[in-house]
């Protein structure tokens, strides 16, 4: 295993570092300190390199993209209805940064921060950042994000946090997968889920669960394009949906390779997009599929959605796991 460190750019007069971890198979991941971003996931097959995720080669693109490509999202990923929640009968009002709601940790969320960073082993990199009640959250929160790659072509992202006040913590990696040489519509998706979340017009969960039927049925591998075609019959043109999952959440695959996704939480958000080309995005010509593993969004406002409360002087650790497989 080898870990290298280079300068990727500069933001607010601070260097942004890129770390590349390479294993014995020449599989590699690249991560940058800005937003603790997963910048690339590259494999070598028959002497040819293949990138498995959407990525940019310039820091400016990561700063400017509205799609949060590869970034660590938090404190809380997803939407909070009316930007309001209670912890132990104490009411908190957040900024309303998407209509009347609160999205992805706010305008000072983790996705806009340049993390401290260091190599911690021959297969791992640690990013750390402290937030101090930005956007209305209670408490000072110390966050660690650790990326590792092993010789079995498995990537782990471990999120750790500690707080001095009762607060919320539900981070994710906003990674977009494109695992094949063919168009994303031709790639297959399997989601181990019987239910997905009903949402209102603001894409905020209503609290109801819907059965994964029709375009939302990925219990067996199905081409993403076939699902999109089924959605069109409902006058819908994209996926932006949350599935209730268990340990092995999903698999995305092409004819030649696959990535299996595992999590210790209960939610998987999928989102079809084209972060590279706004005109194609407007035409619903998608290049990749975001797959964000997290506790179900707006859990603080719904019984049974999971616990995102991090108690005062408590620690929490979450792990998302990704395994590359070459298909015969």
Is pLDDT of 136 > 90? Answer: no
CA nearest 290: which of 176, 151, 185, 203?
176
Q: What is the pLDDT of residues 44-85, one digit of tens each?
A: 999 999 999 999 999 999 999 999 999 999 999 999 999 999
Helix (H) or strand (E) holding 213: none
Q: Which residue is associated with the tokens 């590359």?
A: 324
Token pair of 182 as six digits: 């063919």
**Which pLDDT value is given to residue 61?**
97
CA 89 to chain centre: 30
* Residue 255, pLDDT score: 95
Q: Could you give the CA distance from residue 224 to residue 266 in angstroms, rounded to a whole number? A: 22
Q: 195: which residues sit within 8 A by CB, 6+ positions away?
A: 209, 210, 211, 212, 243, 244
* Mean pLDDT across 227-231: 98
pLDDT of residue 230: 98
Q: Residue 304 sits in a domain of what CATH number?
A: 2.70.98.10
Neighbours of 104 (CB within 10 A): 25
For 185, phi and psi rounded to 5 degrees? Answer: -65, -30
The 10s digit of each residue's pLDDT in 101-111 is: 999 989 999 99
Reported as a pLDDT band with limits 50, 70 and 90, residue 328 is confident
Give residue 45's domain range.
2-326
pTM assigned to the model = 0.97
**C-alpha pair distances (Å), 43 with each of 3, 46, 180:** 16, 10, 11
How many other C-beta atoms lie within 10 A of the C-beta of residue 57?
9
Residue among 205, 213, 212, 239 nearest 225 (CA): 239
State yes or no: pLDDT of 188 exceeds 90: yes
Measuring CA to CA, how many Å separate 97 from each of 94, 179, 233?
9, 33, 32
Structurally, the chain folds into a number of domains equal to 1
- 156/105 Cα distance (integer angstroms): 22
The set of catalytic residues is: 174, 292
Q: Residue 126: which residues within 8 A CB-CB, separation 6 or more?
A: 117, 118, 119, 120, 144, 145, 146
Sequence-ordered list of residues with C-beta below 8 angstroms from that of 304, at least 6 positions apart, any chain:
none
């Amino acid at each position: 295993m080898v870990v290298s460190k280079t300068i990727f750019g500069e933001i607010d007069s601070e260097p942004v570092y890129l770390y590349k971890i390479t294993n014995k198979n020449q599989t590699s991941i690249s991560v940058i300190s800005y937003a603790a971003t997963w910048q690339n996931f590259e494999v070598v097959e028959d002497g040819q390199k293949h990138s498995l995720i959407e990525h940019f080669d310039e820091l400016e693109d990561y700063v400017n993209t509205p799609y949060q490509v590869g970034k660590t999202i938090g404190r809380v990923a997803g939407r909070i209805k009316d930007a309001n929640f209670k912890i132990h009968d104490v009411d908190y009002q957040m900024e309303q940064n998407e209509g009347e709601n609160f999205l992805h940790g706010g305008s000072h969320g983790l996705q806009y921060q340049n993390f401290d960073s260091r190599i911690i082993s021959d297969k791992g990199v640690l990013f750390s950042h402290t937030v101090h009640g930005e956007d209305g959250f209670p408490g000072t929160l110390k966050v660690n994000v650790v990326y590792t790659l092993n010789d079995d072509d498995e990537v782990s992202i471990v999120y750790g946090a500690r707080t001095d006040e009762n607060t919320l913590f539900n981070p994710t990696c906003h990674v977009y997968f494109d695992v094949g040489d063919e168009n994303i519509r031709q790639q297959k998706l399997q989601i181990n889920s019987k239910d997905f979340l009903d949402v209102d017009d603001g894409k905020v969960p209503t609290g109801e669960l819907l059965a994964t039927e029709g375009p939302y049925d990925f219990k067996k591998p199905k081409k993403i394009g076939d699902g999109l075609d089924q959605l069109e019959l409902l006058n819908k043109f994209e996926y932006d949906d949350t599935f209730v999952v268990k340990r092995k959440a999903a698999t995305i695959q092409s004819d030649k390779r696959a990535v299996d996704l595992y999590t210790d939480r209960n939610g998987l958000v999928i989102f079809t997009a084209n972060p590279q080309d706004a005109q194609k995005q407007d035409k619903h010509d998608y290049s990749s599929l975001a797959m964000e593993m997290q506790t179900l969004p707006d859990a603080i406002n719904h019984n049974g959605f999971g616990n995102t409360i991090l108690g005062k002087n408590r620690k929490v650790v979450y792990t998302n796991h990704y395994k590359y497989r070459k298909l015969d």
